[in-house]
Structure 1
């Protein structure tokens, strides 16, 4: 048995914590300073984490390798299993051109560019975040806005800022699933706390979007549709994450937000020509005038309806119990770790939810989608393989980062850093979202930031007397606000709208909004750590 030590380096907590940060510093410097690609920085960081675990923390090489293997296995299943199948569904809609049908359907909802920004960037972007994530919502939303006649820079800024509130539950809940796994906090608990933080952002972001599109006039004239959209989105995200399913949170929120938006009469009124002339300064795509048969429109919406239906059925107690019976729990080979108190850690055991996992449920919905869209089984299989190929670098990144996180957690590195950081005391509640924000800003992924800092947040919270659930959730909720300034997302946005090389200009436009919303989240978390807003927590 390997017993973790908190002060293995010169019997000093400070020196031990400094050495323990080397893997994180390596990844952050390679990503942010050297500008190395994440799929290369991740494995290098893993190598540093393994060296620190073995040489400084005394973890046997065999157990270090076993820890990394378990982290990589968790990255593949269920994390990447969710992402691959979700993106596969999206690819089939693109192949059959039903995605174009959906885009034209959105374009016909309103000719007001401020409302179009809400429908496409905020609501549909959230739906794309729920299914695909990893930059897809920003790229697709920006392209759709440019097709409607938006200036490329404005379209990119709107798409980036809109991609905030849904990120924590993106890719069928992948970030919160990862956070639950690395912290040992039940998924339902983590999701419920995050679901009491990010909905507050949803109340603000739609108002910010109409202001970005049309300044004070946009805010003055369309505040009611924006408020209705944000309020419905927030309520649906809160209800789904707390009482239904974390995997359905973004889908429910996106549909509720869009429904509330189009229900407001003001949103359906034709926009004044001065507004359109001021906002729509680009070239409008001619294919928007093409009329689609009603049957094609229904099929275009079918994949999302199927996913909602499959996940809803899976939450019915008897069905949920049957699905859970297929879950297998195994003692991970060559791994026998105890915490500093001598108690076995949860990482010694690996849970394999074969059916009761988001990826398998999305796969079932995807098979039904293929049948409805008329995709032959052979073609669907090729699209699935193409999806894996498209995600090959993301697969390497996620598996290596999760392997790094598991090595740091099981060797005791994360616990040592957490005990050291706990000296911040009450100030830790304010700094907690900042740590998540920084992690996402550098890595471009809320999933990666949760894997890197989730366990550290929990340890620090336990040592400082704060709620571990609150700070773990704050890591993810603060992280979503770093997405708009991450080099990965900036590059994706620029490439999508033809602004390659203008990432710096785009960063200067979105950075103030990222910092402002981060400050708001920090104040929310501080309030929730005290009696002022403590009543909000479950």
Structure 2
């Protein structure tokens, strides 16, 4: 039986925390400074975490190895299972010739790329986050932005930043429900408080997306629609989380934002759309000419050779072509809505899950408090997992698009080969997360930060940010730190619901820098091996939004307590 010691270094929580942070520092150093490829950075950090677990924390070598295997398998299923099938679904649209039709349909709503960034990455991405989560929004909206002419790097950064405000309520509010289950606090109360925090991000994210898409000039020309969509999304998220349904919050908010955008575009058109598109096309030409030798650039993006410039001789869109272009995405929404919202179907799917203790690890781990650990439990949702639902959607799309079984299978095999390093990256990162969690490294850092007393209200979102950066999941961050936030709040005389909610809200801005999500974004847009470049472009946004949340939660614990439900 292994029980983590939270202060293995000189009986000091601070010194132990600094050592426990070494694996994360390895990730940031190798990705952000040395610019290593993501799979090398992930494997290096995993190695460091194993050394710290065994040499510093005294975790038996066999348990540390088994912890690694559990994490790596979790990285393969369900995480990469989602990504592989999402990219395969996209590949089918390319091989069927429907890819250009999709771009034409989006252009029919608005041919302004700044507006398209809001509609695709923020509104549609939020809807996918509400239904699927686990990286699916980043993978799918990334290739959709390629379809309308974004360069791979710009598409990756935009979708990562857009995948923030909706994350807390993603996958039918799974992170919030997890926090409620672990703390005993009614999850609707936690969700209501989160609904008084993340809308502040929703207000500004569309403006930031426009800034990323076309700089300050883009903001000057398109700020009205960015403000309207952000405001409507924020109000809908606030109202649904507080008064209607925590589970349906992102669905309500995303649809409200999308409707607001469509209605506004009927009466107002931003200036400079054609010029913005020309600048994107020029950037695309430059990237194709400057693709690094032996690396992956715009020329190798998953667009499969589809021309991204305007096609003046393309046949006019008909209702049938519009339906066929949108069919894969409409199918995904319908399938996930039925699977997640229709209780009999949801319960039947969950009933097919295989749940078991990880061999050799289950029963041999204790928590820091001395209780049997539940973390060695593994769920194999062979049918209920989002990746499995995407696979079903892909099969249906192949049949509807009249692609032969051989061609669909060939596309799948080529997809696996193309994603091999991404698969290795995510497996190593999840192995790292499990070793850090089960050896006690993560909880050491969390306990150290929680020792700041009343000031902890300001720092509390950092724990959620840290947990999501390590695991790539806001749900996992809550599983790690929700009870710690509750305990620290009670000791400091702060409302526990506020800090548990802050853990969830902090996690939403940590997701964009998690190696797992960086790899998903890079894979989706064809920049495998350039995760470090993407990291350097999003780390500043992640830290900046985190500081906004820290200030907000700190004020909500004192002078702004009146704004809480």
Cα gap change, 1:97 to 1:230, in 2 (>3 Å): farther
Number of the residue aligned with 1:287: 311
Farther off after superposition, 236-245 or 201-210: 236-245
Aligned partner of 1:149 in structure 2 is none
Closer, same or farther: CA 463–211 of 1 in aligned 2, 3 Å:
closer
- Conservation of the 8 A alpha-carbon contact between 1:206 and 1:226: yes
Is this contact kept in 2: 1:2–1:337, CA < 8 A? yes
Aligned partners of 1:324 and 1:304: how far apart in 2?
23
Q: Is the 8 A contact 2:513 2:542 kept in 1?
A: yes
What's the CA shift for 1:489?
A: 10
Query: How far off is 1:138 after superposition?
Result: 5.1
1:397 Cα deviation after fit: 1.5
TM-score, L = length of structure 2 = 0.74
- Quote the Cα distance in structure 2 between the aligned partners of 1:213 and 1:403: 35
Q: Distance in 1 between matches of 2:313 and 2:466?
A: 43
Residue in structure 2 matching 1:473, options 495, 500, 504 = 504
Match of 2:355 among 329, 332, 335: 329
Deviation per CA, 1:246-289, whole angstroms, max 9, x where unpaired? Answer: 7x98777655433321122x5455556xx457645546923156
Alignment partners' CA distance in 1, 2:173 and 2:77: 15
Contact 2:138 2:160 in 1 (8 A): no
1:317 corresponds in structure 2 to 343
Q: Distance in 2 between matches of 1:395 and 1:240?
A: 37
The 2-side partners of 1:213 and 1:26 are apart by 31
What is the alpha-carbon distance in structure 2 between the residues aligned to residue 378 and residue 182 of structure 1? Answer: 45
1:84-103 → structure 2 map (5 Å cutoff): 84-103=84-103
How far did 1:476 drift?
1.8
Aligned to 2:262: 262
Contact 1:433 1:476 in 2 (8 A): yes
Superposition CA RMSD, Å: 4.7
What secondary structure sits across from 2:206 in the alignment?
helix
Q: 1:475 to 1:222 in 2, by over 3 A?
A: closer
Aligned position for 2:107: 107
In structure 1, what is the equivalent of residue 21 of structure 2? 21
Q: In 2, distance between residues paired with 1:454 and 1:133?
A: 22
Q: Distance in 2 between matches of 1:61 and 1:215?
A: 51
TM-score normalized with structure 1 length: 0.77
Q: Which residue of 2 aligns with 1:144?
A: 148
Q: How many residues align?
A: 517
Distance in 2, matches of 1:491 and 1:77, equals: 19
Distance 2:343 2:526 in 1: 45
1:483-494 correspondence to structure 2 within 5 Å: none
1:420 Cα deviation (Å)? 1.8
Structure 2 unaligned regions, length at least 5: 282-307, 491-495
Listed as ranges, the matches of 1:137-286 within 5 Å are: 137=141, 141=145, 144-145=148-149, 160-161=157-158, 163-167=160-164, 185=182, 192=191, 197-209=197-209, 223-234=223-234, 256-264=256-264, 266-267=265-266, 269=268, 275-276=272-273, 279=276, 281-282=278-279, 285-286=309-310
Looking at structure 1, the residues matched to 466 and 66 of structure 2 have their Cα atoms a distance apart, in angstroms, of: 29
Shift of 1:180: 8.7
Question: Residues 136 and 316 (structure 1 numbering): CA distance in 2 closer, same or farther, change over 3 Å?
Answer: closer
- Give the SS at the match of 2:8: coil
Distance (whole Å) between structure 2 residues aligned to residue 89 and residue 47 of structure 1? 34
**CA shift at 1:134, angstroms?**
5.5
* Offset, 1:55: 2.1
Contact 1:107–1:288 (CA under 8 A) maintained in structure 2 = no
Residue matched to 1:50: 50
Shift of 1:460: 5.9
Deviation, structure 1 residue 337:
0.9
Post-superposition offset of 1:103: 0.6
When structure 1 is superposed on structure 2, of 128-137 and 204-213 the one drifting more is 128-137
- What secondary structure does 2:509 align onto? helix
SS at match of 1:330: strand
Deviates more, 1:360-369 or 1:63-72: 360-369
Q: CA deviation at 1:298?
A: 0.2
**Does the alignment pair 1:425 with 2:450?**
no
- Report the CA distance between 1:228 and its aligned residue: 3.6
Matched position secondary structure for 1:341: coil
Quick check: 1:66 aligned with 2:72?
Answer: no
CA contact (8 A) 2:70 2:376 kept: no
Task: Give the secondary structure class of the aligned counterpart of 2:5.
Answer: coil
